[in-house]
Structure formats: C-alpha cells, structure tokens
Chain A
C-alpha cells in the first residue's frame, strides 16, 4: 500500500491531541444521552455536593460507568487491533476476527455462570483474560510467524466458532433458566446498565495491558524492516510476541468480561488511522486506541438513539460499519495479490 506518502503531512503530536479531545467530547455526549430526561448539570452539582438524589445516582452509577467503559473498552480494542496487526504484519488481525474476543467471552462465561465470580473480586476479568490467552496461544500455534492472510483468517474462524460453541454449551449447562438466552450479550456485547464496580475491577488489568502494548512501539517499528533486521537492531522477537499476546489478552480479556465481545473496532480504528501516521505501526498504537474509543462511544450513543427495543447490541452497530470494511479490505488484498 502506498499510504506512507499520504501520511507524511500529519504531525503525530497534534493528531494525538485532536483524537484525545474528540474522544473526551464524545464521552461527554455519551453522558448526556440516555433514556430518561436528566438535568446533567443539576445531577452533577448534586453528585459533587454528596447529595444522593435520583438524578445524581443515575449520573454516577449508570451513565458514568457506561461512558467510561465505552472509552476504555474502545481504547483496548483499537490498541489491541493495531498491536496484533503490527505483530502479524497483517491488516486483518483484529481481536474479534482472530478469536481472542471470543475466547475471552468463553472464559468470562465459565467463571460467571459457574458461580466462581463470587469467589473473589477479580475472578470475572481474570476469567476473560485466561480465555483470551488460550485463544491467542491456539491461534499462534496454528498460524506461527509469517503465515499468510488466508491461514490467519481460517485459524481465526476456527478459534472463534469453537469458542462460540463452548460458550453456548456453558450457558446451556447453567441451571438458571435465563442463562441460555444470554448468548447474545456475550457474542455481540453491550454497555447497557453496566456499573462502576465493574469498571474499577476491569481497569487495573486493562491499564497493565495498555502499558505492555504501548511499550512495544519501537519493536513494532523495527519489525517493519523484517524480522532479521529487527533482531539485529537488538529486539528480542520472542519477548515481543509474549509481550503483545499478554498485553492484548489483558486489555481485551478484561474488557470482554464486562461488556461481552464487540467486534470490528480493532479492525476499523487502525484501518482508518494508519494513513495518518505514515504506516508506522508503533505510532499507530496510541492513535488507534483513541480511534477505537471514539468509534465505540459513537456506536453506543447510536444504539441508544435508534428507537429499537430492546436496545441493539453494540456488536450489531459495529458490524454494520465494520463488515463492509472487512469485505473491501479482503477484496483489495485479493486484487493486489
């Protein structure tokens, strides 16, 4: 692709600042949008004054976690997508497409419906992380290094459908009659009525994941020169792989445990922003994370504004944008091949 040339005009610092400002603005809009008429300034005043009025409770306990999770989960997905694409040197590597999100959903489902979630506070996000790690290792065993796009996608389809089947099985084994109907949430994701404690539980693992992924930027840039060159520059590729898989599993696993698997964000964000950073995968990381946050927040605002009841799952909204893009990407790659 010849995007390297077109990206030369955009400077990195201002781009990051602009995206961060946009993400913040969309998060504020997300706080304003809801199903009930809420006087946000008054609710804010109540919340700061420590008055637990109904309005303050709605703002603090319902809207704030929703907006904050939209931003952090979107950031995780966008960042993990960019990192995996840099590692596998393949623009189709998205945590949803390659099965990492599906594995995380399975891990979270097993922990939640077996009752393990009540055992200790971090059980749910750790379950998601464990599922994501297993999916990533399975995928890596199938794909190895330098595998073609076809192998990657087929491996992803395999891991994804296997994880989906096991998720359905786990839900069916639950003695709770509602459980079997909850597969939509785990496979499509939603931010509806999430809570502050869920945000606090997911955040430490999420931030650890972000740190691992963002720290890999120099190595990812070196990797564009080829594995041998990167190695000769002093980058340990085995360590880089372990770092990226761990980072993606932590960020995506913790996110999916709270919101279910939301597809395509990790595909769309890097794709849209890659030209703006001159095809440098290291620089794409932070930018793509911010882009993912913006995309997910907009999708979550959209599902609340579209008058469909019950509320659309987030994965529906992201797939409506992402699936045509994935299609066009594959089409372009086929023509270039």
Chain B
C-alpha cells in the first residue's frame, strides 16, 4: 500500500529532485536518460521547484542543519534528541515537529522526498529507504573546518537552498575570523575530557577547534587515535594548563557523565583551569563550532590573565 501510494510522488520526484543521492534510481524508474535530462533542465530553469517539500531527518546533526537551511514547514520530522534545548542547538524549532527514533519506517510514514541520515546509520535502514525510492543523503561527521563548510554546502544543495548554505558558511567564517589568537606567545596546553573518559587526539575536528582557539592539544603527545578512552590519572598527570570538559547538559545522570565529576578533577582546579564546554557546540560539525572556538579562546585568555596575576 505504501508503495502504491508513493508512485505518483516518485514520478514528481524524478522531475523536481535534481540532487545527488537517489537520483540514479529515480531516473531509471522514471524512464532513463530522458527523464534525467528533463529533471536537470527543470532544475536549472526553476530552482524554486527543485526544493524537496517533505524532508525527514534521522540524525541529530542532520536535524540541525536541515532546520537551519530549509524553509519552515519543509522538515516534517526530526529525532527526539534534537528537541532537548540542553543538548541540541535547534531545539525551539525541533520541539514543534513530530519526533522520530531514527528508524527508516518512521521516515517512510511521511512519504519523504528527502531523507537525511547520519554517518552511523544502520545500512539495512538506508537500503530499505533506497529500495522504496526515497532519496537518501548522508550527513557525515566532518573532521576539519573545510569538511564543515563542505557539509553545509552539500546539505544546502540537497535541500535546494544553496544561497542559504553559502550565507551560513560566510557567517561561520566571519565569526572565526573575529577570534583573535596571539601567536607571539606560546600556546597554552589543553586536554579534552569527554564523557566515559574519552579524549580527542590529532586529526579531528575538536583538535582543529582547539588549535583555532590558540590551544595546543596535549593528546597529540599520547600516541592515541582520534577518539580514545584515557585513564583519568593519565589526564591528571599530563601537565595541562586547561582541562576542557565536554559536558552534555542533558540533565539525566549516567556513569559516562559522572566520570567528569570525579573529585580528582576538582582537586586539580588549583593547578589547571577547568573549562566546561557544552557537547552541543562540538558534537556535530555544524556552524555552531564557531561558538566553541569563541568560548575556548575566551577561556584561554582568562587562564593567561589568571596566571599573570598569580
């Protein structure tokens, strides 16, 4: 029944949906290269018609980008994670929408013309979505600022909102440019502690955020992978100037978060500056990373000032 109900929509889709994923499938179903060419022509001639009208997002990071970029009313459903203002950036908008648990079946209920999935989406779910002809765009986990820009651009294109994407990138770059880093002085040494005692090594977005904020990521000296658990005693003895705690402000307790409340960390407060940074600012590689850089740069400046007075 679901499939039968979809067929007219799918035909529309092949005309009005010029974007990347799912295009090949649709072109074949809709009658081959002719349809594809027509779709491309229509897309160029009238970009307004190219926008998907029923977008479902099955991933927190995709939720936020879609809500930032799409017209009101276009996004039909987002994940439940996006609706908590303590752990998500677009909660005000997300809370007004029906929530999903990230399952393919939930997306299909909206008869979507674009489904956004995350980097760790269940392959079976993605296969199911593609099988019934829903175009799927995967939102990744960018590991560099360039990757962040590329991702905004890609998602904006799939939503048919390239100008908004460029505007968002320009705003991100402008905010980053305003963060002044005094390169004449040696960088303060910092280490990140995430829930469950994970730290973040080189080659990651967090590492780039630290560098951009004028900090030197000590985890680079630990010979560890990009994301790895580190015993608390190793963190304590690293000799960092700044200990950056990645706090989820979700409110519900977990052992993972309790690891950041270990009394050893409070006991070290006299020896290093402890900074809490909300997870929502750097979990997804969205434009909110600018705020993470701003806050860390401000903390670094405060730590320097404190050291100068001591």
Judged by a CB distance under 8 angstroms, whether B31 is at the interface is: no
Chain B contact residue count (CB 8 A cutoff):
31
The answer to whether B264 and A175 have CB atoms under 8 Å apart is no
Say whether A7 faces chain B, with CB atoms less than 8 Å apart: no
* Closest chain B residue to A112, Cβ basis: B253
Contact check, A57 vs B228: say whether CB atoms are below 8 A apart. no
In the bound complex, do residue B229 and residue A309 qualify as a contact, i.e. CB atoms below 8 Å apart?
A: yes
> Are B236 and A62 interface neighbours, CB within 8 A?
yes
- Asked if B267 and A57 make an inter-chain contact with CB atoms under 8 angstroms apart, the answer reads yes
A199 CB, nearest partner CB in chain B, Å? 11
Contacts of A60 in B (CB 8 A): 267
User: Beta-carbon contacts of A142-170 to B below 8 Å, as 1s and 0s?
Assistant: 00000000000000000000000000000
Contact of B252 among A34, A54, A176, A185 (CB under 8 A): A176
Contact of A115 with B252 in the complex, beta carbons under 8 Å: yes
Among B12-20, B49-57, B63-71, B254-262, the one that faces the other chain is: B254-262
Q: A54-B236, A57-B268, A62-B233 are in contact. Are A193 and B259 (CB under 8 A)?
A: yes
Chain A residue with minimal CB distance to B225?
Answer: A309
Task: Tell which of B252, B262, B268 touches A175, judged by Cβ atoms closer than 8 Å.
Answer: B252
Within 8 Å of chain A (Cβ to Cβ): is B271? yes
How long is the Cα–Cα vector from A69 to B234 in the complex, in angstroms? 20
B243–chain A nearest beta-carbon distance, Å? 11
Interface string of B164-198 (1 = CB under 8 A from A): 00000000000000000000000000000001110
Q: In the complex, what residue of chain A is closest to B87 when comparing beta carbons?
A: A177
Binary B-proximity of A56-72 (CB < 8 A = 1, otherwise 0): 01101111000000000
Docked complex: B235-278 residues within 8 A CB-CB of A? 236-237, 239, 248, 250-257, 259, 262-264, 267-268, 270-271
Chain B hits for A52, CB < 8 A? 267-268, 270-271
Query: In the complex, are the beta carbons of A58 and B252 less than 8 A apart?
Result: no
Contacts of B220 in A (CB 8 A): none
For the complex, is B32 an interface residue (Cβ under 8 Å from A)? no
Quick one: which of B216-231 are within 8 Å of A by CB? 228-229, 231
Which B residues are CB-close (under 8 A) to A181? Answer: 256
Q: Is the CB of A178 within 8 A of B233?
A: no
Bound together, the chains give a CA A226 to CA B267 distance in angstroms of: 56
Q: Which residues in A have their C-beta under 8 angstroms from that of B231?
A: 34-36, 192-193, 311
Residues on the A chain within 8 Å of B234, using CB = 35-36
Is the Cβ of A113 less than 8 Å from the Cβ of B264?
no
**Chain A CB within 10 A, most for which of B196, B228, B236:** B236
A302 within 8 A of B: no
Q: Is A55 an interface residue (CB 8 A)?
A: yes
Interface footprint category on A: 35 or more
CA distance A310 to B197 in the complex (A): 10
B289 at the interface (CB under 8 A from A): no
State whether A58 touches B233 (Cβ < 8 A): yes
Asked whether, in the complex, the Cβ of A193 is within 8 Å of the Cβ of B254, the reply is no
User: How far, in whole Å, are A195 and B233 apart by their CA atoms in the complex?
Assistant: 12
Q: Please, how many angstroms separate the alpha-carbon atoms of A309 and B262 in the complex?
A: 21
Chain A residues 175 to 234 lying within 8 A of chain B, measured CB to CB, are 175-179, 181-182, 185, 192-193, 195-197
Q: Mark A29-42, 1 if CB is under 8 A from B, else 0.
A: 00000111110000
Q: Which among B232, B251, B257 has the greatest number of chain A C-beta atoms within 10 A?
A: B232
Residues of B within 8 A of A54 (CB): 236-237, 239, 268, 271
Residue contact A38 to B237, C-beta cutoff 8 Å: yes
Known A-B contacts A34-B233, A57-B267, A62-B264; the reply to A193 vs B250 at CB < 8 A is: no
In-complex Cβ contact of B254 among A55, A174, A192, A197 (8 A):
A174
Residues of B within 8 A of A113 (CB): 252-254
* CB-CB under 8 A for A115 and B253, given A62-B232, A193-B231, A195-B262: yes
What is the chain A residue whose CB lies nearest that of B195?
Answer: A178
Inter-chain contact A182/B256, CB cutoff 8 Å = yes
Q: What are the residues of chain A within 8 A of B264 when measuring CB–CB? A: 57-58, 61-62, 195
Q: Tell me which residues across on chain B come within 8 A of A182, comparing CB atoms.
A: 254-256
B129 interface residue (CB < 8 Å to A): no
Q: Are A58 and B237 in contact (CB under 8 A)?
A: yes
Interface presence of B81 (CB below 8 A):
yes
List the B side residues contacting A24 at CB < 8 Å.
none
Beta-carbon contact of B254 and A176 below 8 Å: yes
Say yes or no: A58-B236 contact (C-beta < 8 A), given A35-B231, A177-B81.
yes
A316 at the interface (CB under 8 A from B): no
Among residues of B, the one whose C-beta sits closest to the C-beta of A37 is: B237
Contact A309 B228 (CB under 8 A): yes
Indicate if the CB atoms of B254 and A35 lie closer than 8 Å: no
Those of A70-120 within 8 Å (CB) of chain B: 112-113, 115, 117-118
Given contacts A61-B262, A309-B228, contact A179 B254 (CB under 8 A): yes
* Max count, chain A CB within 10 A of own CB: residue among B81, B197, B256: B256
B contact set with A: CB distance below 8 Å: 81, 84, 195-197, 228-229, 231-234, 236-237, 239, 248, 250-257, 259, 262-264, 267-268, 270-271
Q: 20 A-B Cβ contacts within 8 A?
A: A36-B231, A36-B233, A52-B267, A53-B271, A57-B267, A61-B264, A62-B232, A62-B236, A62-B262, A63-B233, A112-B255, A115-B252, A175-B251, A176-B253, A178-B256, A178-B257, A193-B259, A197-B263, A310-B229, A311-B231
Extra pairs beyond A52-B267, A176-B253 (19, CB < 8 Å)? A34-B231, A35-B233, A36-B231, A52-B268, A54-B236, A54-B237, A54-B268, A57-B267, A58-B237, A62-B236, A174-B253, A175-B251, A177-B81, A177-B248, A178-B254, A178-B255, A179-B254, A185-B255, A192-B231
Closest 4 CB pairs of A and B: A178-B256, A61-B264, A176-B252, A35-B231
